[in-house]
Structure 1
Amino acid sequence: MYSGWNSIYRKIIGGKAMGTYLYCVLPFIAWVASGVLKFLVNYLRSGKDAFRLVGNGGFPSTHTTILSSMVMTIGFHEGFNTPMFGIGMAILTIVIIDATGLRRTVGKHAKMLNKHISSEEEKLRERQGHHWHEIFGGLMLGTVIGYVAHLIMVFLP
Structure 2
Amino acid sequence: MPFLAWFVSGTCKFCINYLQFGKKARTLVGYGGFPSTHTTIISSVVFLCGFNEGFDTSLFSLGLGVLLVLIIDAHDLRRKVGQQAKILNSLQKINEIKTNILLREKMGHSWLEIIGGILLGAGLAFIISGV
- For the aligned pair, the TM-score class normalised by the smaller chain equals over 0.9
Is the counterpart of residue 46 in structure 1 residue 46 in structure 2? no
- CA distance in 2: counterparts of 1:40 and 1:123, whole angstroms: 25
Superposition pairs for residues 1-157 of structure 1, below 5 Å?
Answer: 26-117=1-92, 118=97, 120-151=99-130
In 2: Cα distance, 1:148 partner to 1:75 partner: 13
With structure 1 as the length reference, what TM-score do the two structures score?
Answer: 0.78
Query: CA offset at residue 144 of structure 1?
Result: 0.7
Which of structure 1's runs of 4+ aligned residues deviate more than 3 A? none
Higher mean C-alpha deviation, range 119-128 or range 90-99: 119-128
Aligned residues: 127
2:43, 2:128 → 1: CA distance?
Answer: 12
Amino acid at match of 1:113: L
> Identity across aligned pairs (percent)?
51
3-state SS of the aligned residue for 2:91? coil
Give the superposition deviation at 1:119: 5.3
Name stretches of at least 5 consecutive residues in structure 1 with no aligned partner. Answer: 1-25
Q: Which runs of 5+ in 2 are unaligned?
A: none
Task: State the 1:120 CA deviation.
Answer: 3.9
The structure with higher relative contact order (CA 8 Å, sep 6+) is 2
State the secondary structure of the residue aligned to 1:148: helix
Look at both structures and tell me which one has the larger radius of gyration over its CA atoms: 1
Give the TM-score taking structure 2 as reference length.
0.94
Cα distance between partner residues in 2 of 1:53 and 1:150:
32
Tell me the alpha carbon deviations over residues 33-62 of structure 1, each in whole angstroms, 9 at most, x when there is no partner: 110000001001111110000011110001
Counterparts of 1:120 and 1:49, CA distance in 2: 22
CA offsets 1:64-110 (integer angstroms, 9 cap, x no match): 00000000000111100000000000000000000000000000000
